[in-house]
Amino acid sequence: MPRYILFFTKEEPVRWLGHLDILRTFERAIRRSGLPIAFSGGFNPRERLSFASALGVGITGAEERVALELTEPIPPQEVQKQLNAVLPPGIRIVQCFPVSEEQQERNLFSELDRADYEVLCSASEPVSAEAIEQAIAHLLSQSQVTIPREREGKTRLVDIKPQLYSLQLKPGSLQNGRFLLIMRLGMGETGNVRPNEVIEALGQQVPGIKVHRIHRLRLLGPDS
């Protein structure tokens, strides 16, 4: 059966929806659109729909990905049009691609292991662009970047440095005490690093650093 990969946005109006909310929103939209969606087997059949990576509550995204399977071929532009007609404000399909015959049986998102983020921050005290860049350079020069993580009531230290691929101050973004950080972080089987964890580590050099908004720019593979 034909499969499609859809690129979609998660914008400000749906910023506070969690992953399960987004999943249910797509399920409802597919039913309302009339697209011939395929279903899984078993006692509780579900729409054959899979997301590349869950996006947390409060985080927006510019190029999120979802794959769906239909029972009959439909032109990609028609799939995009029919879904956009019924999706709520804040979620828009921006591209739709058919999956080639050679890739039909593959895990379409298995190679995605990192993501780019844009994070809006501020500090508790006035800070210069030079000071921010020095703090970033210091952080990246460390052999380890350890942060505490809690699981099942226990706290352990985790080294996120191997999955911190890049971090920089967006040029010209420091205005009225706020600034944008661009970071590339690991995700998936290689290990998930959250933007807030990087900011927590950076806080040792930038006192009182605070996150105001997190925007995921894109999902990437190792060769991207």
Over residues 25-35, the pLDDT tens digits come to 999 999 999 99
CA 167 – CA 184 distance, rounded (Å): 7
Q: Do the first three CATH levels of 3-103 and 114-220 match, i.e. the same topology?
A: yes
CATH 2.40.50.100 corresponds to the domain 114-220:
no
For the chain, which residues make up each domain, given as ranges?
Answer: 3-103, 114-220
Q: Please report the DSSP string for 147-167 in residue order.
A: EEEEETTEEEEEE-GGGEEEE
Over residues 60-89, the pLDDT tens digits come to 999 999 999 999 999 999 999 999 999 999
As a CATH number, domain 3-103 is: 3.30.70.580
pTM exceeding the 0.75 threshold for the entire prediction? yes
Mean pLDDT of the chain: 93
Residue in 157, 113, 114, 119 with CA at minimum distance from that of residue 136:
119
CA 73 – CA 79 distance, rounded (Å): 10
User: Does residue 91 sit in helix, strand or coil?
Assistant: strand
